[in-house]
Amino acid sequence: MKLIVGLGNPGSQYTGTRHNVGFEVVDRLARRWADRPADGARNRFGGLVVEATVGQERALLLKPLTFMNRSGRAVAEAVGFYKIDATRDLLVVADDLDLACGIIRLRAEGGSGGHNGLQDILGALGRPDWARCRVGIGRSTTIPSADYVLGRFTPEQQPLAEESFDQAASACEAWCRDGIASSMNTFNRKPATTSEPLDRS
């Protein structure tokens, strides 16, 4: 069983915000692969869960509802219940301020990079060697980071963001099928459009 976790905050006030890109990617995965519609997700492990089949692999798609800073509890419960080998079968999708909007990066392990959701998962699992897919949201030169991540994409950023969500979903599929090393080689490339409009909101 593979476990793919998309990080975000629950509630309509957070829908479409930069901090919720993990939810956006998991929703796309559910539409592509899920055994039941995304709106039929079950509430388990403190989150919304949908089971899916990716090629020959069974996968659990999880959106923690514990708010970003407490994401670790849901992830640890799912890992423990299914006896998942986190080093091989866990992938976490999260936003990244240090990547330009439109760029994604896969990593086999690492720290939190200042991301509170990833930090909480690191604490809950007690180890850093699990895969993550980082989805770039850019960084504002005028808005504090705490406010920026809870804001919505500008009209200039939105097309880049939508493309990155689809690309991240495809990267998750490749990870399920081929593993982290192969999917990193395929997806850790800059897109054709390398310039990003500055956020001026």
Mind telling me the catalytic residues? 19
Which structure tokens are listed for 63? 């959106």
Amino acid at 138: G
CB distance 77 to 121 below 8 Å: no
Q: Residue 148: name the closest of 81, 98, 79, 189 by CA.
A: 98
- Inter-CA distances, 91 with 15, 80, 131, 168, Å: 22, 15, 5, 11
Mapped to the 3 state alphabet, what secondary structure does 33-47 carry? HECCCHHHCEEECCE
Q: Give the count of alpha carbons within 13 A of 108, CB side only.
A: 9
Q: Which residues of 110-137 are buried (b: 16+ CB within 10 A; e: fewer)?
A: eebeebbbbbbbbebbeeeebbbbbbbb
Which structure tokens are listed for 111? 């720290």
